[in-house]
């Protein structure tokens, strides 16, 4: 039997042409998306020489301070001033930021900005945050929370974000002013009392723990529910304050560079509304005790409003 002849190989040029024919055609270049313009109402405000901005359609809700009296740059620029950040309650581990889960509508009237958060399927809480500008420089904020069902140990967290963690933040605790500082992986709490301290440890902050952020609870707690950022060289203080029966704790968060207040800190019945008042005020302070009269004025005004 004669051997079969090997088939002739195609010339090299023919092979290249065949490969070219087999190669898939290049895809047409993707068309660039058309530009999109989104409405973002921006309002500039001035209250007692304290100036800033508010953006109604921005995810970073709340006010932003930018300058203070005498036309100088604010010694601690800050944004999301007293912005509603999350809801927590007993048995509900982790954080829920309402602006990511619930629709929010913003509007402006004569001297106030109002944000309304609708209920979310994941958290049956409707909230309203009303920011009233103060003639002397600052803002009063009234928060109202309406719960579709009861919650134990309900808390609402409000925070102000700093571009950097300021070294001159103070809390009045144990009968004196103390530095309120936290490292880049720490959130430090000053609770109202032992009951409020237990709320911090009941698992509601596990989201931070899982992110590698430690929680530190100061055993003495706060004397006044206040956080004060004081610049001794300029004699100005920016103070954040609440009412004791409406503020379960204050904190500094080194990871987010934020100052926060936990509001309510109590059991809330179904279909009931909890209302809390908070104030941020810019004032002259040769020493930290000079801030206390502003806090007493705030408390007295809140008591007067309650009696009406």
Domain ranges of the chain: 42-307
Q: Are 223 and 172 in contact (CB under 8 A)?
A: yes
pLDDT of the residue at 192: 97
pLDDT of the residue at 3: 43
Question: In which residue are the tokens 């190669």 written?
Answer: 23
* Burial class, 35, CB count within 10 angstroms (exposed 0-12 / middle 13-18 / buried 19+): exposed
26 phi/psi in degrees, rounded to 5 = -65, 140
pLDDT of the residue at 4: 45
Q: Are 158 and 263 in contact (CB under 8 A)?
A: yes
- Tens digit of each residue's pLDDT (9 = 90 or more) over 174-217: 999 999 989 999 999 999 999 999 999 888 898 888 889 999 99
pLDDT of the residue at 177: 97
pLDDT of the residue at 231: 87
Q: Give the span between the Cα atoms of 220 and 4, in whole angstroms.
A: 99
pLDDT of the residue at 61: 74
* Two tokens, residue 47: 């209250």
Task: State the pTM of this model.
Answer: 0.84
pLDDT of the residue at 200: 92
Q: Are 162 and 259 in contact (CB under 8 A)?
A: yes
pLDDT of the residue at 123: 75
Q: Which CATH class is domain 42-307?
A: mainly beta
The pLDDT profile of the chain, 308 residues, written as one tens digit per residue, is: 444 444 555 555 545 445 445 566 666 666 676 787 767 788 998 888 888 999 887 766 788 988 877 666 677 778 889 999 888 888 776 677 776 677 888 899 888 999 998 887 777 889 999 999 998 889 999 999 998 888 899 999 999 998 776 678 999 999 999 999 899 999 999 999 999 999 998 888 988 888 899 999 999 999 999 999 998 888 889 999 999 999 999 999 998 889 999 999 999 999 899 999 999 998 999 999 999 999 999 999 998 887 66
pLDDT of the residue at 246: 97
pLDDT of the residue at 268: 92
Q: Is the C-alpha dihedral spanning 191, 145, 277, 185 positive or negative?
A: positive
């Amino acid at each position: 039997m004669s051997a079969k002849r090997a088939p002739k190989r195609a010339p090299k040029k023919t092979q290249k042409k065949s490969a070219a024919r087999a190669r898939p055609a290049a895809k047409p270049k993707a068309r660039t998306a058309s530009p999109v313009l989104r409405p973002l109402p921006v309002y500039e405000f001035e209250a007692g020489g304290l100036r800033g901005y508010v953006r109604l359609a921005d995810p970073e809700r709340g006010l932003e301070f930018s300058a203070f009296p005498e036309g100088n740059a604010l010694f601690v620029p800050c944004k999301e001033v007293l912005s509603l950040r999350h809801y927590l309650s007993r048995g509900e581990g982790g954080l829920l930021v309402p602006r990511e889960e619930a629709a929010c509508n913003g509007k402006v009237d004569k001297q106030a900005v109002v944000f309304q958060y609708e209920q979310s399927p994941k958290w049956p809480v409707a909230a309203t945050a009303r920011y009233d500008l103060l003639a002397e420089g600052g803002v009063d904020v009234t928060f109202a929370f309406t719960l579709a069902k009861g919650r134990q140990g309900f808390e609402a967290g409000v925070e102000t974000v700093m571009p950097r963690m300021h070294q001159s933040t103070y809390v009045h605790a144990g009968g004196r002013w103390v530095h309120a500082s936290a490292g880049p992986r720490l959130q430090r709490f000053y609770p109202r009392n032992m009951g409020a301290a237990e709320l911090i440890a009941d698992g509601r902050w596990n989201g931070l723990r899982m992110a590698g952020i430690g929680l530190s609870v100061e055993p003495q707690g706060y004397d006044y529910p206040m956080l004060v950022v004081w610049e001794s060289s300029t004699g100005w203080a920016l103070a954040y304050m609440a009412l004791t029966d409406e503020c379960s704790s204050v904190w500094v968060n080194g990871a987010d560079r934020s100052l926060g207040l936990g509001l309510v800190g109590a059991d809330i019945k179904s279909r009931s509304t909890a209302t809390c008042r908070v104030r941020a005020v810019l004032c002259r302070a040769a020493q930290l005790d000079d801030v206390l009269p502003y806090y007493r004025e705030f408390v007295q005004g809140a008591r007067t409003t309650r009696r009406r």
